[in-house]
Amino acid sequence: MSQTTTGSVLGVWSRRLLSAILLGGQVVVHLLSGKINRRNTLEQMAEVGPESLVITLVTAVFVGMVFTIQVSRELINFGAGSTVGGVLAIALARELAPALTGVVLAGRVGSAFAAEIGTMRVTEQIDALYMLKTDPLDYLVTPRVIACCLMLPILTLLFLLTGMLGGFLIATNLYHISPGVFIDSARNFTRITDVIDAMLKGICFGALIAVIGCSWGLTTTGGAKGVGQSTTAAVVTALLVIFITNFFLSWIMFQGTENTFFQGM
């Protein structure tokens, strides 16, 4: 790929990212003014939440199992087998649950938003909404943003609980760690603020997924090929923004000197 082509692609991506930022600002203004389509919001909540539940829980249980397998042997060798539950709980609450739930939702929901709205754009259904004096922002975008911001924290919490269950099964059956020791370790190592921070991350990631998916859909051009390109670009952009945002959120939330891990030992 030539430098000119690369520069053109980056230029288009930058303009679409700027459009997404502006769209996010517009959504905030509309929310503050109370412009909410309740029926569409409830429909999108059902689409984002219950429809994503199975894949989220399956991912969670195997992530919990794999993480426990990875850390249990090393901790047992160091004589710290009693901390397995706490280490798993901290990893899930502070990082794995919100980040991986965001990844799952970006792939499933973000792509759906971009494809659906992109198809509406290239088939001129968006123009039809304007002719009917219906603001696409109120009708299409805001309900999806609200749905993601409400459902993703709930899915994050369920991911955390299911991941702990998966780790519990591995720790007690494969490494013969006492159930009481595992549960006490998890309870001693984690704080309620860890769970709250995980859900706050979920709200942020939900907003990013919805805004990026909707924005890339609204800026789609070029027919069916353009819809496919927008869908792919929306998912990639959402994942990239989630990882970058996750760094800054983690830096803000956990940069203190207090160390829960060593306090729990």
Q: Is the pLDDT of residue 197 over 90?
A: yes
Please check whether residue 142 is in contact with residue 27, taking contact to mean a CB–CB distance below 8 angstroms: yes
Task: Give the pLDDT of residue 140.
Answer: 92
Q: What is the mean pLDDT of the chain?
A: 90
pLDDT > 50? residue 112: yes
Token output for 2: 């030539």
* Averaged pLDDT, 115-125: 92
Please report the pLDDT score of residue 34 as a whole number: 80
The pLDDT score that the predictor gives to residue 37 is: 85
pLDDT in tens, 1-17: 455 566 677 888 888 88
- Model pLDDT for residues 211-231, shown as the tens digit of each residue: 999 999 999 988 888 899 999
Classify the C-alpha dihedral 197-200-204-209 as positive or negative.
positive
pLDDT digits (tens, 9 = 90+) for 138-159: 899 999 999 999 999 999 999 9
pLDDT band at 264 (very low <50, low <70, confident <90, very high): very low
Would the pLDDT of 82 be above 50? yes
143 touches 36 (CB < 8 A)? yes
SS3 221: coil
CB atoms within 10 A of CB 260: 17
Find the range with the poorest average confidence among 22-36, 146-160, 171-185.
22-36
Question: How far is C-alpha 33 from the geometric centre of its chain's CA atoms?
Answer: 26
pLDDT value of position 261 = 40
pTM equals 0.89
Q: What is the pLDDT of residue 256?
A: 59
Q: Which residue has the higher pLDDT, 32 or 145?
A: 145
The owner of tokens 């998966």 is: 166
Residue 146 near residue 48 (C-beta atoms within 8 A): no
Q: Are 45 and 144 in contact (CB under 8 A)?
A: no
User: What confidence score (pLDDT) does residue 263 get?
Assistant: 44
Within 13 A of 241's CA, how many CA atoms are on the CB side?
24
Q: Among residues of the chain, what percentage have pLDDT more than 90?
A: 72
